[in-house]
A = this chain, B = another copy of it.
Amino acid sequence: MPKKNYLLTPGPSPVPPEVLSRMAEPIIHHRTPQYQEIFKEVCEGLKFVFKTSKPVYTFTSSGTGAMESAIVNFLSPGDKVITVDAGKFGERWGKMAAAFGLDAKVIKVEYGKPIEPRQIEEALKAEPKTKAVYTTLCETSTGTAMDIKAIAAVVAKTNAILVVDAISGLGADPLDTDLWGVDIVVSGSQKGLMIPPGLGFMSVSDKAWKLVESAKLPKFYFDLKQYKKSIDKNDVPWTPAISLVIGLREALRMIKAEGSMEAVWKRYANLGEATRQAFKGIGLEIFSSRPSNAVTAVKSPASVDSEKIVKIMRDEYGVSIAEGQAEMKGKIFRIATMGYISEFDIAVGLSLIERVLDRLGYKFEFGGTIKAFQESFVKGELVNK
């Protein structure tokens, strides 16, 4: 039969057909009342997902563009910052800080472990002039969720702002922006927000806005002051990615229909936990000591190259999961539980992983993943009721 494709990667994640079909409608102009009404609804929907009463700014860029915006708008060359490097995406904050001439204290954390809030507290004490702390909600490369609530409590006591890359975690791992006092949250469109890649987002606290006036790093495309001037008119300074914004309105309606972000988070928490139990059900280990609910990183059996698992699944069966990156290559594989991925999509992935592991010589009992998955999922659903 023709290959049926399933996307179980931690971004891009699948896009609902209702969203895809809206994006296929004839393009409209963006300087019109018609588009402004759409963008206004999108801005409101983003506040709902970001859990903030402040505007959320939309950039035509990947998530990395939004990360750059979270640097250039708030700092000057030589400013002291702390970046948390607990994987490939935390590492990116450090690289960016270097590219923009910041004086960065990079805290290296063992892959698969979260940073201890105490480490940030100590670093801030050691360098009281630190202007910003850059970290990650879900470190996608290791499947680890940082304890943002505790970190925010630490940073809030200082003059520094807390910047969180929530590109893959947003919508799956809890992030209560205003309540926890997270100053800047950046994200992208192709994960929990269920649309194709091409949009970046950023929320900004009052404390962070205070840094904008004195920030001397040069900028134009990502210049927040330009965006601030436009947003009250439901506009952006440069031509937006119209079709993606229209798709996003549809996706945000689907998210809002669930009632609250707390309900959404609970659903992914249950899905994430069931997924972890599934792999434990056939004797595999979860890579992270503080696992994210957006993506599960699994240690491959010692005898099995995880790259082979991923390749066979994708090329022979059309089911995409992700490999390990950098030094985790060959050793872990990652399966996403974010956005439009349902428990039954995960069941597809688990069934295929069992078949591939069997073929690659790993010994276990068929059905072991699904048994543990179902038991955990149903138990979790009961608790959530």
Contacts and interface: CB of A to CB of B under 8 A. Distances in A.
Contacts of A174: none
Interface residues of A, number: 57
B32 A26 contact: no
A209 to B, nearest CB: 19
Contact of A27 (B7, B27, B33): B7
A198 B26 contact: no
A24 interface: yes
A158 interface: no
A223 B61 CA distance: 14
B24 A221 contact: no
Contacts of A241: 62, 196-198, 241, 244
Contacts of A198: 60, 198, 241-244
Contacts of A60: 60-62, 65, 197-198
Interface in A15-29: 15, 20-21, 23-29
Interface of A: 5, 7, 9, 11-12, 14-15, 20-21, 23-30, 32-33, 60-65, 67-68, 71, 77, 95-96, 99-101, 188, 190, 196-198, 217-223, 237-244, 314-315, 320
Contacts of A220: 64, 68, 71, 95-96, 99-100
B24 A314 contact: no
Contact of A15 (B27, B61, B101, B244): B27
28 contacts: A7-B28, A9-B29, A12-B30, A14-B26, A14-B27, A15-B26, A20-B26, A20-B27, A24-B24, A27-B190, A27-B196, A28-B320, A29-B320, A61-B61, A62-B240, A64-B238, A65-B238, A68-B220, A77-B218, A95-B220, A96-B220, A99-B220, A190-B239, A196-B244, A198-B198, A198-B243, A241-B244, A243-B243
